[in-house]
């Protein structure tokens, strides 16, 4: 585990440094190319300005000259003046005739061979087609050359002026390298700061994760796990809150899983119990009936005894059959035939079945102007309400009040079922929906479990309202149609 956190710390540390270095490289490269572009534009514009100045200066000498006399005009005096113009502008000047032959140049002898060749026809064509008779091009060796026609006062072309420009011979106007040196110094300081910050931050985060991990290692599924606490409202705090929320969901899932497992176990047991009970019932019933027909008892007293024996045995066999049927119904609740039903109609039907309960008062309260139509199986809902009423009657000893309140809230229909019995003891309130054998002689312990299963089949839920001072109250929620 120590190796894991050391590796995590190193990866985090390297990631931060890599991010910082990448940022510095991107910023440096962007800055370099930006200033390089600025310098290129500066030199490009500078030679254009110089070309206009040189052209204007030469035009003073060429105003009264004819194109045919251009070659004869090149004398020592003109050479002197041309060099003077070149020195003033700090630029070399080369003059060609209109055919591209070189006439005169101010370039030093060392570099004269480089510019001793004539102008190509393609270049002369470009110049002739250019706007205002001038254009500037950049060569592969980064040199810049300006070409333009020299005119006389009649605007006749006298020759071609070429100004070679070497940016490397001039200091950068934008002081690029000086700026980059300063920027590099700042970047170096930032990098050192980032190294220190990355180390402290990686140590802090991995130390926090290690602390949380030591607590998480003690977590066991199925146990009451302790919640984690974190004082700071940071990323680690978000992680801790997410973990605590996961524990809450895990406990809910654990409870649902346990409930599902218990229900499955009870269903399997119910199937087995129903099967074991039903197996001997039929032969027992047939044997008792056959016994009555087989015995020829002459004495009336013995006949009465036999008849009483048959009735009691058949009654107990019938009771056992009902118990087996209840277990079978719980184990395999038939799939409901879902359709649109009205809860008010179903409740009224089931209440009519208990009119013979003279000591029980049914109070029905339905919210005015509300629709209580839901999707459900009418037979299963009748069994649901019948089980609830039977439980209440047994709890009240068939004396008291039963109240049914129907209301609507948002997209739900809510039924409150309240009786005036003694209520449900607090220590068994959490277990009332679990299938179990009841201590009552007339009960089977499956009524509320079956009711819960029916509600779940209808996509609703049933809850016991706790902390009532008197009686029991069940709150049943259906999805409104």
pLDDT tens-digit profile of 413-434?
999 999 998 888 888 887 777 7
In a domain, 212, yes or no: no
Residues 312 and 365 in one domain: no
**pLDDT score recorded for residue 473:** 92
**pLDDT score recorded for residue 344:** 92
Mean pLDDT value of segment 61-90: 79
In a domain, 223, yes or no: no
In a domain, 207, yes or no: no
Give the pair of three-digit tokens for residue 71.
């070659």
Q: How confident is the model at residue 403 (pLDDT cuts 50, 70, 90)?
A: very high
Q: What is the pLDDT of residues 188-245, one digit of tens each?
A: 887 787 777 777 766 666 666 666 666 666 666 656 666 777 666 766 677 777 777 8
Mean pLDDT value of segment 464-469: 84
User: What are the start-end ranges of the E strands in 38-101?
Assistant: 94-96
Q: What is the pLDDT of residues 169-190, one digit of tens each?
A: 655 544 556 766 777 788 788 7
In a domain, 303, yes or no: yes
Mean pLDDT value of segment 59-69: 79
d(CA 71, CA 104): 10
Give the pair of three-digit tokens for residue 258.
């346990």
**pLDDT score recorded for residue 365:** 92
The pTM score is 0.41
**pLDDT score recorded for residue 166:** 77
Domain end, chosen from 331, 354, 381, is at 331
266-275, 376-385, 458-467: least confidently modelled range:
266-275
d(CA 348, CA 359): 18
Cβ atoms 444, 269 nearer than 8 A: no
In a domain, 225, yes or no: no
Return the CATH number at 111. 3.30.450.20
**pLDDT score recorded for residue 437:** 44
SS3 149: strand
Burial class (CB in 10 A: 0-12, 13-18, 19+), 308: exposed
Residue scoring higher pLDDT (408 or 308): 408
What domain range is 320 assigned to?
Answer: 235-331
Residues 159 and 243 in one domain: no
Residues 280 and 350 in one domain: no
Mean pLDDT value of segment 355-372: 86
Q: Compute CA distances 222 → 34, 217, 218, 462, whole Å.
A: 64, 14, 12, 26
d(CA 245, CA 266): 32
In a domain, 6, yes or no: yes
Domain end, chosen from 296, 315, 331, is at 331
Q: How confident is the model at residue 2 (pLDDT cuts 50, 70, 90)?
A: very low
Mean pLDDT value of segment 7-12: 58
Give the pair of three-digit tokens for residue 264.
């499955």
d(CA 1, CA 438): 54
**pLDDT score recorded for residue 202:** 66
Q: pLDDT averaged over the chain?
A: 76
Domain end, chosen from 145, 169, 193, is at 169
pLDDT at position 110 over 60: no
**pLDDT score recorded for residue 1:** 43
SS3 39: helix
Residue scoring higher pLDDT (109 or 142): 142
Return the CATH number at 419. 3.30.565.10
Q: How many angstroms separate the most distant Cα atoms in the chain? A: 172
Q: What is the pLDDT of residues 17-38, one digit of tens each?
A: 777 777 777 877 787 777 777 7
In a domain, 249, yes or no: yes
- Stated as kind and residue range, the H or E segment containing 110 is helix 109-112
Which percentage of the chain shows pLDDT scores above 70? 69
d(CA 452, CA 462): 6
Residues 349 and 327 in one domain: no
User: What are the start-end ranges of the E strands in 410-472?
Assistant: 412-419, 461-464
**pLDDT score recorded for residue 478:** 93
121-130, 262-271, 284-293, 432-441: least confidently modelled range:
432-441
Residues 382 and 467 in one domain: yes
Residues 126 and 11 in one domain: yes
Mean pLDDT value of segment 249-265: 72
Residues 127 and 273 in one domain: no
Residues 357 and 313 in one domain: no
């Amino acid at each position: 585990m120590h190796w894991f956190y050391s590796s995590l710390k190193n990866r985090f540390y390297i990631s931060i440094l890599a991010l910082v270095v990448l940022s510095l490289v991107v910023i440096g490269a962007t800055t370099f190319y930006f200033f390089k572009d600025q310098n290129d534009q500066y030199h490009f514009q500078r030679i254009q300005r110089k070309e206009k100045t040189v052209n204007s200066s030469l035009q003073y000498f060429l105003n009264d000259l004819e194109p045919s006399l251009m070659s004869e005009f090149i004398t020592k005096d003109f050479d002197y003046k041309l060099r003077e113009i070149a020195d003033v502008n700090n630029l070399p000047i080369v003059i060609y005739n209109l055919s591209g032959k070189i006439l005169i140049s101010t370039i030093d002898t060392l570099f004269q061979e480089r510019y001793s060749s004539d102008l190509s026809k393609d270049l002369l064509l470009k110049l002739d087609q250019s706007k205002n008779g001038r254009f500037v091009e950049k060569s592969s060796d980064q040199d810049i050359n300006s070409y333009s026609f020299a005119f006389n006062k009649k605007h006749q072309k006298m020759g071609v002026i070429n100004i070679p420009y070497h940016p490397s011979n001039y200091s950068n106007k934008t002081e690029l390298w000086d700026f980059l040196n300063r920027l590099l110094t700042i970047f170096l300081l930032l990098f050192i700061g980032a190294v220190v910050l990355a180390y402290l931050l990686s140590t802090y985060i991995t130390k926090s994760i290690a602390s949380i991990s030591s607590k998480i290692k003690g977590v066991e599924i199925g146990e009451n796990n302790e919640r984690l606490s974190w004082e700071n409202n940071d990323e680690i705090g978000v992680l801790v809150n997410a973990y605590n929320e996961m524990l809450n969901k895990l406990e809910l899932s654990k409870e649902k899983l346990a409930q599902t497992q218990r229900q499955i176990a009870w269903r399997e047991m119910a199937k087995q119990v129903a099967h074991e009970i039903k197996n001997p019932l039929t032969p027992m019933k047939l044997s008792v009936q056959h016994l009555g027909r087989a015995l020829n008892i002459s004495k009336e007293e013995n006949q009465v005894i036999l008849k009483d024996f048959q009735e009691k045995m058949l009654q107990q066999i019938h009771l056992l059959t009902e118990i087996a049927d209840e277990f079978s119904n719980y184990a395999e609740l038939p799939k409901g035939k879902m359709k649109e039903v009205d809860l008010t109609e179903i409740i009224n039907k089931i209440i009519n079945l208990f009119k013979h309960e003279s000591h029980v008062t049914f109070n029905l309260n339905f919210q005015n102007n509300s629709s209580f139509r839901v999707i459900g199986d009418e037979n299963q809902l009748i069994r649901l309400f019948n089980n609830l009423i039977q439980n209440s009657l047994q709890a009240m000893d068939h004396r008291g009040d039963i109240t049914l309140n129907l209301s609507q809230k948002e997209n739900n229909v809510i039924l409150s079922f309240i009786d005036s019995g003694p209520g449900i003891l607090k220590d068994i309130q959490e277990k009332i929906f679990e299938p179990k054998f009841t201590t009552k002689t007339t009960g089977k312990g499956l009524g509320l479990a079956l009711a819960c299963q029916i509600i779940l089949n209808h996509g609703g839920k049933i809850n016991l309202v706790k902390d009532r001072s008197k009686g029991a109250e069940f709150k049943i929620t259906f999805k409104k149609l």
